[in-house]
Structure 1
Amino acid sequence: MKPIKLLLSLFIMSVFLTSCFVEDPHYIEEPQYTLEDVLSDYEIWYVNIHKKSGVKNLPFLSNAFTLSFVNGRLYANNNLVGFGTSGSDSGRQIGTYNTSTGSLQVNHFKEGAYVFEVTELGNGVIELYNKYDDVSYVLEGNSFANFDWDKIFYENIEYFLQEYDVWAKTSTSTEGEVNDFDYENFLSFTPDDITNFYSSQSEVGTNIANLDWSYKGSYSVADYTNEDYLKELTLYYSDGDSEVFELFIDTDQEIELYHINSGTTYYFEGLGFIQYKKKSSTVQKARKRTKVKRVQKVRTSKI
């Protein structure tokens, strides 16, 4: 009789379990939203250096304007020139990443391994926090189709000016009064910081190596209220003089400087493109992207 009792018990238990399952026919297990889902939700992430927190700098993040996370491969754009011309530019691969532990583990090809805690701040914005160096970076997610490439140029215009050895004057408008800047034909904005510039009155067409940098000084860039695609550039010469311009970007190789006091517009072309990519290169060591604090101004009408 014992075997029969055992079979009967098993039968009753199976009926009970089946009835329990049937009682909740609407139960559906919710899919888990992973860190990989968060990172891959956007095709390109803008590294907003102006929202960085912490004293230390992680070079691969501080030097990058954008990052993209694609199937375990990490891509970055370290230059603005050529940026976005294809409409879908993730940049070059700089390493690999893994999210299986719930944190972001990055293995940079040259700088080694980093671990980040990732926090969603909302509206496609995340924060990467590195506990070891006590530093955090804010990334803003975008699709290639909706990414405002021009705005990124203007937000980082000091670094854009550094991406050519020289800016050579190509033409001058017929409008405007005669002024001292009429005779300056070359400008250079050094990558060692975002404050130094050099100016030359060498003849148009002079080889870069033979330019006479007779003038030098510091410069500043100011924002105009409610003008995302226009900046004010002031050159402070070492002799005490200064020149103020409205700065426009025509292309990633051409800029306009509108001289406010005289009403003259000068057109410059970038020569000697500098590619910032190799940590071992001299240029890369000199280039350091940090927070930029700008004065806010109200734009006055052109003369």
Structure 2
Amino acid sequence: MKTIKILLSFALTATLFTSCYTEVVVDDFAYVDEPTISLNQLLRSHELWYVDINSTLGYGETPFLQKAFTVSFINGVVYANNNIAGLGANGDGFGIDVGEYNAYENILDVYHDIDGFSTFDVYEIDYNTIELYNPNNDTSYFLDGYQRNNFDYDFVFYDNIHYFLQEYEAWEKTYTSEYGAINEFDNENYLQFLAGGNDSTFRSSQDDTGINANNLYWDYTGVYGVGDVYGDAYLKTLTLDYDYLGNEYFELSVINDGKIELFHPSSETVYEFEGRGYIQYLKSESGTKKEKVQSDKLRKQRKDKVANPRENTRKV
């Protein structure tokens, strides 16, 4: 009888300890898994979200994210830096108002002034990276979070310099150095870099200076390329392919948001060009939003698109 009591006591004690142990594990798991902040708090945790376009997964496109360098979510309003010119200055660094948003649970709904409605499932990847998954096109965009005071506007500017060249309807030659050998490029007074398509088309004109960009006659259309200079993040190369006439090669420097310098090594001539007809891809005017020109301006990924492993969990 004593043996039975001891066994029963041991069994009861073991059951109690097992029950307590199981409860602690469940509680601990629930604590770790429970979201610590709301989606609105997550979106506001960083002032700027840089759209890492080269990390995009999927074959679709969400136009307003494909255009933007940064987006911000502030009190129901979406802000974006769509232009390289003025980056860091427009809207105190936030860019311009491009639409409205609503955030609930893990869903972000965006009502863009030009591109309309988009919906996303939001996933927190790490402490400063979020994934915006669009279930309607099975594509994920990855956004890296920054505060304005630690965001490298200069790096983004120079890393995307070819978009800067596209943000003016024309570049007018305003200066030619007195030194340097006479060469064919002396006759070119305007350059234009076209957005969209293959993102590498330029046009040139020999019209007299002082003409409105809309009235220019473009003498030549060709292909251009922008390259890096090893060891100098602020100097670029610009190559204009004039087909059978050969290539014109320059060192490209940015003087300010509306002026560039082209150094022509083969002739040692320096040229300056000023932008004419600034293109803001979405601007506010009298309380309305509109695109000025070229709605097909979209950033291009520098590598081939790949399938998105993310599964669509929305109920059909």
1:288–1:87: structure 2 CA closer, same or farther, 3 Å change rule?
closer
Partner of 1:15: none
Kept in 2: contact 1:103–1:118 (CA 8 A): yes
Given candidates 258, 261, 265, the residue that maps to 2:266 is 261
Report the alpha carbon displacement of residue 215 of structure 1 after superposing the two structures with TM.
Answer: 2.0
Report the alpha carbon displacement of residue 236 of structure 1 after superposing the two structures with TM.
Answer: 0.7
Amino acid at match of 2:297: R
Query: Could you tell me how far apart the structure 2 residues matched to 1:100 and 1:156 are?
Result: 34
Partner of 1:244: 249
Report the alpha carbon displacement of residue 98 of structure 1 after superposing the two structures with TM.
Answer: 2.8
Cα offsets for 1:207-232 (capped at 9, x unmatched): 43443321221111122344332221
1:281–1:85: structure 2 CA closer, same or farther, 3 Å change rule?
closer
Kept in 2: contact 1:87–1:145 (CA 8 A): no
> Is it true that 1:234 corresponds to 2:239 in the alignment?
yes
SS of the equivalent of 1:275 reads coil
> Is it true that 1:77 corresponds to 2:81 in the alignment?
yes
SS of the equivalent of 1:69 reads strand
After TM superposition, the score normalised by the length of structure 2 is 0.75
1:67–1:267: structure 2 CA closer, same or farther, 3 Å change rule?
same
What percentage of aligned pairs have identical amino acids?
Answer: 46
> Is it true that 1:274 corresponds to 2:282 in the alignment?
no
Given candidates 164, 169, 186, the residue that maps to 1:165 is 169
Report the alpha carbon displacement of residue 261 of structure 1 after superposing the two structures with TM.
Answer: 2.3
Amino acid at match of 1:239: Y
1:110–1:281: structure 2 CA closer, same or farther, 3 Å change rule?
closer
Which is richer in helix? Answer: 2
Query: Could you tell me how far apart the structure 2 residues matched to 1:137 and 1:225 are?
Result: 30
Given candidates 133, 137, 158, the residue that maps to 1:129 is 133
* Pairing 1:11-160 to 2, within 5 Å after superposition: 32-85=36-89, 88-122=92-126, 124-160=128-164
Query: Could you tell me how far apart the structure 2 residues matched to 1:263 and 1:292 are?
Result: 33
Report the alpha carbon displacement of residue 124 of structure 1 after superposing the two structures with TM.
Answer: 2.2
Query: Could you tell me how far apart the structure 1 residues matched to 2:39 and 2:110 are?
Result: 13
Query: Could you tell me how far apart the structure 2 residues matched to 1:156 and 1:276 are?
Result: 16
After TM superposition, the score normalised by the length of structure 1 is 0.78
SS of the equivalent of 2:173 reads strand
Report the alpha carbon displacement of residue 92 of structure 1 after superposing the two structures with TM.
Answer: 2.6
Structure of greater relative contact order (alpha carbons < 8 Å, 6+ residues apart): 2
Report the alpha carbon displacement of residue 189 of structure 1 after superposing the two structures with TM.
Answer: 0.9
Kept in 2: contact 1:215–1:238 (CA 8 A): no
Higher mean alpha-carbon deviation, 60-69 vs 216-225, is at 216-225
Kept in 2: contact 1:45–1:139 (CA 8 A): yes
SS of the equivalent of 2:301 reads coil
Query: Could you tell me how far apart the structure 2 residues matched to 1:272 and 1:91 are?
Result: 19
Kept in 2: contact 1:187–1:198 (CA 8 A): yes
RMSD: 2.6
Structure 2: runs of 5+ lacking an equivalent = 1-30, 284-288, 304-316
Q: How many residues align?
A: 265
Amino acid at match of 1:285: S
Query: Could you tell me how far apart the structure 2 residues matched to 1:125 and 1:231 are?
Result: 30
Kept in 2: contact 1:188–1:197 (CA 8 A): yes
Kept in 1: contact 2:53–2:66 (CA 8 A): yes
Structure 1: runs of 5+ lacking an equivalent = 1-28, 294-303
Report the alpha carbon displacement of residue 58 of structure 1 after superposing the two structures with TM.
Answer: 0.7
1:91–1:183: structure 2 CA closer, same or farther, 3 Å change rule?
same
